[in-house]
């Protein structure tokens, strides 16, 4: 089944992108029109010690021009891959835009994925340039093999025992005149790594056209107004700020541990900056919303809240509505690093659907396709398809793998041809990306998410997807989250529900476990569509992804469950 655009409309959407575009040029363009407008603000401290330090668009443009020129003078070439390990803030944004202005390709990897995985990602990218804080340079000295292709190094901060330049030396360049390479829309602009929540992290190639299409889609979906202020609880969203003509605020949080954020600091950043928009993972808002409700705090300046990275429960949306004011709403853009945004739905529609489904296990509605996007559902398999055939589609209402076409869809995983072949169907304007999620369309053309393809259960009763069942159990008292996994071999898997209780509610004794399980079954009694669960286990803390702290590493839980039931 396909929704939204036909082939001709999709091709037309692709060609609306300019042939020559450099996404960093949007920074220079806006700086020329609004030079004094704040570009980046960084929040630090709390209560009486709270402060916002920032930089204007003119200053950010000047700084990135100087960095770009200094790097080119030191040998940076168009197309060079640059591993960038800099903490979120002014320096990260200035350096990233400088690299794109110079036609280089910043490589952005989550440092929290673990040393072994991080070094493997760096080695695979074969960077010629390395820019990082002193701690990152220390890692480079201890594990030189992964960085053996590096010829040019820059330290952001104090340089210790290694050579190369410092950011301060780059900024000493006097010439800050406009410096933007005339790049093509299909020219590499950046490599962004996936979170690695469903397998090894992969480097996704972004072109300047990809970024430009994303800016257009976000603007059309959410109607940002010039001069709005965005609290970037997901740091990479700040890359869109110049194109959307926003001021970006970095709240004080550890991007590798968003679920451990201090909610009061997030709230204070939003209040003091008078942020009108914010983007973050559900893990952040599951801390912020209860804190606001407990302390009687509202966020009246916010017009919109964007939540992505994992399924968003109606309870979270409803709680947010109690701290927002007027017409402000929650929105949940759906997609992946390889294709974002693919669809979107508002919080009000989420709550309306929650009431109408009457407690049935139906999954998470992720809305209708985004502007310029075509969504197909294909038969579920794990094989390569070089070209699309209508026989791959599934009938209306049936489960299928979600495939996305459109100008925001990326074309490859860098240096991973096998992974690219598995994920991409076709080429050119009709290239489809297989997101790896399973879902279905309802009668009103809305897309519903039911779980990852790699997390499906193949049981004697047939295919079982985990998310619909989990969503019902997640609303039970004293439950933080659940995961439905299959124990056994494919085709003969037995559904097992693993429960992570809220803090302080972990049952330790057998009688406590029996009582907890009885309450769980009482909570979901008479609800339809549940999987045939054979066992319920309790886990103290689910393993989750680094980026959002919300995507569950189900493979680890499956192995753990098999050990418990052996």
CA distance 268 to 556: 37
244, 215 Cβ separation under 8 angstroms: yes
Mean pLDDT of 241-257: 93
CA distance 26 to 360: 46
- Provide, rounded to the nearest whole percent, the portion of the chain with pLDDT above 70: 97
Task: For residue 65, give both structure tokens.
Answer: 């021009």
374-378 and 400-405: which strand pairing? antiparallel
Q: Is the peptide bond before 254 cis (omega within 30 degrees of 0)?
A: no
339-344 and 462-464: which strand pairing? unpaired
Mean pLDDT of 65-81: 98
- Residue 463 backbone phi and psi in degrees, to 5: -70, 130
CA distance 302 to 16: 32
Nearest to 371 by CA among 327, 340, 332, 393: 340
Q: Is 312 left (phi over 0), alpha (psi -120 to 50) or beta?
A: beta
448 strand-pairing partners: 365, 440
| pLDDT exceeds 90 at position 513 | yes
Q: How confident is the model over 274-327, as pLDDT tens digits?
A: 999 999 999 999 999 999 999 999 999 999 999 998 889 999 999 999 999 999
Given this model, what pLDDT does residue 16 score? Answer: 73
Mean pLDDT of 493-500: 98
Top-confidence residue, 335 or 236: 335
Distances 44 to 153, 158, 269, 272, 487 between C-alpha atoms, Å: 29, 21, 8, 11, 47
Residue 1 — pLDDT band, cuts 50, 70, 90?
very low
Residue 57 — pLDDT band, cuts 50, 70, 90?
very high
Task: For residue 490, give both structure tokens.
Answer: 């494919």
152-155 and 38-44: which strand pairing? unpaired
For 49-126, where are the E strands, in sequence order? 51-56, 81-85, 105-108
Distances 88 to 236, 306, 457 between C-alpha atoms, Å: 9, 19, 39
| pLDDT exceeds 60 at position 2 | no
| pLDDT exceeds 70 at position 159 | yes
Mean pLDDT of 248-257: 91
Mean pLDDT of 376-382: 96
Collect all residues with Cβ–Cβ distance below 8 Å to 540 and sequence separation of at least 6. Answer: 500, 506
Residue 446 — pLDDT band, cuts 50, 70, 90?
very high
Neighbours of 515 (CB within 10 A): 12
Task: For residue 219, give both structure tokens.
Answer: 């603007």
Element (DSSP H or E) covering residue 33: helix 25-33
Q: Which domains does the chain have, with CATH numbers?
A: 456-565 (3.30.300.30)
Task: State the DSSP string of 394-442.
Answer: --TTS-EEEEEESTTB---BTT-HHHHHHHEES-GGG-EEEEEEEEEE-
Task: For residue 333, give both structure tokens.
Answer: 């853009």
Given this model, what pLDDT does residue 7 score? Answer: 52
CA distance 178 to 180: 6
Of 184-198, 335-349, 483-497, the one with minimum mean pLDDT is 184-198
Mean pLDDT of 25-50: 96
Nearest to 333 by CA among 302, 369, 363: 369
pTM above 0.85, yes or no: yes
Top-confidence residue, 80 or 111: 80
Nearest to 58 by CA among 233, 177, 209, 189: 177
| pLDDT exceeds 90 at position 486 | yes
Given this model, what pLDDT does residue 70 score? Answer: 98
- Provide, rounded to the nearest whole percent, the portion of the chain with pLDDT above 90: 87
Given this model, what pLDDT does residue 444 score? Answer: 95
292, 258 Cβ separation under 8 angstroms: no
Given this model, what pLDDT does residue 120 score? Answer: 96
Given this model, what pLDDT does residue 547 score? Answer: 74
Task: State the DSSP string of 209-254.
Answer: HHHHHHHHHHHHHH---TT-EEEESSGGGGGGHHHHT-EEEE-S--
Q: What is the largest CA-CA distance in the chain?
A: 73
Of 339-348, 352-361, 371-380, 453-462, the one with minimum mean pLDDT is 352-361
| pLDDT exceeds 60 at position 123 | yes
Given this model, what pLDDT does residue 196 score? Answer: 73
Mean pLDDT of 89-114: 95
**Average pLDDT of the chain?**
94
105 strand-pairing partners: 81
Q: CA neighbours within 13 Å on the CB side: how many for 288?
A: 30
| pLDDT exceeds 50 at position 356 | yes
| pLDDT exceeds 60 at position 10 | no
The alpha carbons of the chain give a radius of gyration, in whole angstroms, of 24
Distances 388 to 91, 425, 431, 506 between C-alpha atoms, Å: 44, 6, 9, 49
Collect all residues with Cβ–Cβ distance below 8 Å to 525 and sequence separation of at least 6. Answer: none
Given this model, what pLDDT does residue 9 score? Answer: 53
């Amino acid at each position: 089944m396909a929704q939204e655009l036909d082939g001709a409309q999709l091709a037309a959407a692709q060609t609306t992108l300019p042939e020559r575009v450099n996404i960093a040029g949007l920074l220079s363009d806006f700086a020329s029109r609004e030079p004094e407008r704040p570009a980046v603000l960084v929040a630090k401290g709390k209560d009486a010690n709270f402060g916002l330090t920032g930089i204007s668009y003119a200053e950010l443009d000047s700084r990135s021009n100087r960095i770009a020129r200094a790097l080119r003078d030191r040998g940076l070439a168009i197309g060079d891959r640059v591993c960038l390990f800099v903490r979120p803030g002014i320096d990260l944004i200035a350096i990233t835009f400088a690299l794109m202005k110079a036609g280089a390709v910043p490589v952005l990897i989550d440092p929290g994925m673990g040393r072994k995985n991080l070094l493997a990602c760096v080695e695979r990218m074969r960077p010629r340039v390395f820019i990082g804080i002193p701690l990152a340079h220390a890692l480079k000295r201890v594990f030189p093999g992964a960085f053996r292709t590096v010829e040019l190094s820059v330290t952001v901060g104090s340089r210790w025992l290694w050579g190369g330049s410092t950011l301060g030396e780059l900024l000493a360049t006097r010439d800050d005149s406009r410096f933007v390479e005339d790049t093509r829309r299909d020219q590499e602009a950046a490599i962004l790594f996936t979170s690695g929540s469903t397998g090894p992290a992969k480097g996704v190639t972004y072109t300047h056209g990809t970024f430009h299409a994303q800016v257009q889609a976000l603007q059309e979906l959410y109607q940002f107004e010039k001069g709005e202020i965005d609290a970037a609880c997901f740091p990479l969203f700040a890359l869109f700020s110049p194109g959307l003509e926003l001021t970006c605020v970095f709240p004080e949080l550890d991007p590798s541990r968003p679920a451990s954020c201090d909610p009061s600091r997030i709230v204070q950043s939003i209040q003091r900056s008078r942020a009108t928009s914010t983007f973050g993972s559900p893990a952040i808002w599951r801390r912020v919303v209860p804190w606001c409700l407990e302390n009687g705090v509202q966020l009246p300046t916010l017009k919109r809240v964007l939540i992505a990275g994992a399924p968003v429960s109606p309870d979270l949306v409803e709680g947010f509505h109690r701290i927002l004011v007027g017409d402000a709403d929650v929105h949940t853009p759906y997609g992946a690093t390889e294709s974002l945004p693919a669809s979107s739905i508002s919080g009000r529609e989420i709550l309306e659907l929650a009431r109408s489904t009457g407690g049935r296990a139906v999954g998470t509605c992720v809305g209708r396709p985004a502007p310029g996007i075509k969504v197909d559902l294909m038969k579920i398999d794990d094989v390569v398809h070089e070209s699309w055939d209508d026989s791959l589609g599934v009938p209306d209402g049936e489960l299928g793998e979600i495939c996305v076409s459109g100008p925001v869809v990326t074309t490859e995983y860098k240096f991973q041809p096998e992974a690219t072949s598995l994920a991409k169907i076709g080429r050119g304007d009709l290239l489809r990306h297989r997101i790896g999620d399973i879902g279905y369309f309802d009668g009103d053309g809305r897309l519903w998410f039911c779980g990852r393809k790699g997390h499906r259960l193949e049981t004697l009763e047939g295919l079982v997807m985990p998310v619909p069942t989990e969503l019902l159990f997640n609303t039970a008292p004293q439950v933080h989250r659940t995961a439905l996994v299959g124990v056994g071999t494919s085709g003969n898997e037995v559904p097992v529900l693993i429960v992570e209780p809220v803090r302080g509610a972990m049952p330790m004794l057998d009688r406590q476990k029996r009582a907890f399980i009885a309450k769980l079954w009482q909570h979901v009694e008479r609800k339809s569509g549940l999987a045939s669960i054979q066992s319920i286990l309790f886990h103290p803390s689910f393993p989750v992804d680094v980026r959002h702290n919300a995507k569950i590493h189900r493979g680890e839980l499956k192995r753990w469950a098999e050990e418990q039931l052996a």
